Every structure is written in structure tokens, then in C-alpha cells.
Structure 1
Amino acid sequence: METRPSILRYTAVAVIAAIVGGALVYVFGGPGDVKSLEDKNTALKVEVDRLTATLAEKEKAGAKAAGELSERQRAVDELEKRSKALAAENDALKKKLESLGEKVEASAAEREALARKLGATGRTLEEAQARAAELNKSYETLLAEKTTLAERVAARRTELESTKKALEEAQSEVARLMGARGIYTVQNGDSLSVIAAFFYRDGLRWPDIFKANSFLISHPDLIYPKQVLIIPQ
């Protein structure tokens, strides 16, 4: 499809051709028509100049319009590109939100399960201390038997480990109910002051440990290796 400037160009040429054709008629009409021909040639030149100027303006306007159209097309392309990028980002955020929702639901379910478990197995502080004291006594007895009854080592070892595990769980429950820091298994060479220095950087805090474990030990020096103690805050 031809552009508007091209159509104007063809129109101008047609007008010029028509005028020139008329001039030729006057040329062949006779000497008396020379003055009229000159006038028409002058008018023709003026018209040609006017049409040429108009054509130049139209071509300039057409080029400007084409440039504006190109700029607008680039703007449209850029907007489409940004729209696609935003759509992709929106999809990614939607997926992330769905994933976070699933995690929140899973976390809520875990908390509910933990609450049910604690509700089913929770004990009062006194009950937990009594249970820990009983297990501590059994554990102490088994340790003594282990050193004197070598022939029963294998069977006793299993029982010993089982009782130790139960004691650790019981002491952990006591520690939780007391709001303590946790539990600690006594090592060879330990004393309450050594343990206090290790946990608090202050050996003079050994009475705090003794008080927290008073339901297990009757004297601060009567602790033994592998005994499980509560470490208060």
C-alpha cells in the first residue's frame, strides 16, 4: 500500500503534466498567444514551487509520524516485556506463598502433636523428681553390681544402658519442669565446683547445682562418674 507522501508526489506530477499539456496547446495556437503562454508558464512555475514545498512538508510530516509510530511501537514492546516479567514474578511469589502456607500448616500440626504428647506424658515436678530419684538409686545399685559381678556383665550392660537412658529422660523432664539449663553426666574427677566452673565460669556456684539435685544427693561430695545431674540456670 503506497504512503501518503507518494500519492501526493504522483498528484503533483499529474497536475504539472496537465498544465504543460495546456501550454503546448497554446504553443501550437499561433504567435499571438506567446504572452499568454509566458503568463501560464509563470503560473506553472509558481504552482510547481507550491506543490514542491507542500510535498516536502508532507514528506517531513510523514517521516515524523513514522518516527513517532516507531517510538510508540518500542514503548508498547517494552510494556509487553515488563508485563510478562511482572506476570512471571507474580507466579513465583504465588508459588512461594503457597509453599509458606504449607510450611505454616505443617508447623501448626507439629505444635499440636507436641502439645498432645506433653499433655499425655506431662508430670508434676514432684512426680518427676520421685521418678528420677528411684531410677538414680537403681542406676547406682547396678553400677555397684557391675564392678563385682563380672560374669553378668553382658546382661547387666543392657539393663544398665536402659536404666541410664530412662534416668536421663527423667532428669530431662525434671530439668524442663524446673526451667533448668539441662542435664550433665558426671565424669571421672568431677566435683560440683568443677562442674560449676565449667558451666558458669564460677566454681563458687556449686551450691546451686547441689540444691537442684538435693533429691538425688545428700552430700555435695557424694557424686560419682556417670551420674546424671540437673544444671540449673
Structure 2
Amino acid sequence: MAVQLDSDEPRLFQTGEHACGYFPERRARDLVLDPHDTRLDALYPLALRWGFRRSGNLVYRPHCLGCHACVPVRIPVAQHTPDRSQRRCLARNDDLDCRVLPAERTDEQFALYRRYLAARHLRGGMDDHGPIEFDQFLIGDWSQGRFLEIRAPGDPGQRGRLLAVAVTDVTANGLSAVYTFFDPDLPQRGLGTYAILQQIAWARRSGLPHLYLGYWIEGHRKMDYKRRYRPLEYFDGRHWTTAAP
């Protein structure tokens, strides 16, 4: 179902119902910007401000009947101060090397991605992802994405072992944390937290105002962690506010 706004304005499509990725007993649907619109790269920064998210070439926002659990959130990076746990995470990983690279898949990255999925999302619908699915999901055709690689210390002149990759979109309105995968055998390092803290630092160095974190879901064990980053701004469908829904 398409919603035509104006001949010059983007079209929105409403998907049919599908399985919810967060609550197995629920059904979900989304609003999607016309995936054939040649202006998607220009529309995407505005769409982030409207609470949308990117997955591959799709720019979408949950639009479920009777459910408003998915709340868009972002961090105003200039105001962020790490809490005690986050400061410990930074200190614990002070030996790691972080580099921002073009969003181009390598065999090393893909091998880590497969290990991460097997450990964290077994039978979650992504088990059979190959190189093509990796590119379709994380890179797409038009996004201004980058890979933030996080590596262990290496020998002089050598790169250390790849520990994590934070897939990040770069826009004029801020960075958007698309997806992060990391070594599942190093829980003590807190690599997911460290990746977000490095993205905050990256946005601040670049003079960008926000890091978009996607959707916060209150009480959901995989999504509620986003509340630990303060201050956190929430989108209510019209305005961004620091007051949680």
C-alpha cells in the first residue's frame, strides 16, 4: 500500500503484516520509503530525524497496529559523559586499535560475522547469510557507510586480530549505528559497549551532533541497554525529547 504525498515528495509504502523480530507472539508491519526513489541517499538524513532506520537499501520505521514498543533514540554526543561502567570499559580496552575504513567486505570481517551470528543469533533467520547477504544487509547500494574496525594489539608493523566491526552510516545529521558484530569469545571486554563509545567519540571529532542508535524497547533484554547512554533523546513521532516515553 503506497501513500502518495506529492509528485515531488517521497512515497511511503506500508508493508503487510510479518513476524515481529522482537516479540515472537506479535505481528509487525513497517513504513518504507520507496526503495526505487533515486534520491534515497539525500532523503536518508531527513528520514533519520523522522525516526527511520536503514537495513540494506531499505529505509523503514515500525508502524504496528496497537503497538508502539519501538522508540527511535539518539545520543547528543556533545553532552554525553560515560558512566562508571562505561569508563571501565574504555580503560579495559585502551590497548585496542580503532580505524574507520570504507564499507567493503573482507574475508576476515565475514568470518567474524559468521561466528557472531552462530553464537548470538542461532536459528534467528540469519544463519545462512553468505557474502551476498552480508553486502545486501550491511552495505547496500547507496548508503554512505563506513566500517569501524576494532583490533587487538599487533606486532610492530602488523595489524592485530580483528575483534569487532561497527557498521556506521555517515550523514550530515550525525552517525547512525547500523549493526555491530564482534568476537563472541571475549565477553569480558564489552566490545558492543566499546563500539558505541568509539562511535560517540568519532561523531564528536567530526563535529556531528548525534549518534542514532535505532530503536529502544523498554524491558527487552537485547534492546533496553540503550538507556545506559545519557543523555538519550527519544522520538515521539513529532519531536525529540530527553523524557523517556
TM-score by length of 2: 0.20
Which structure has the bigger radius of gyration? 1
The structure where helix makes up a greater share of residues is 1
The structure where strand makes up a greater share of residues is 2
TM-score by length of 1: 0.20
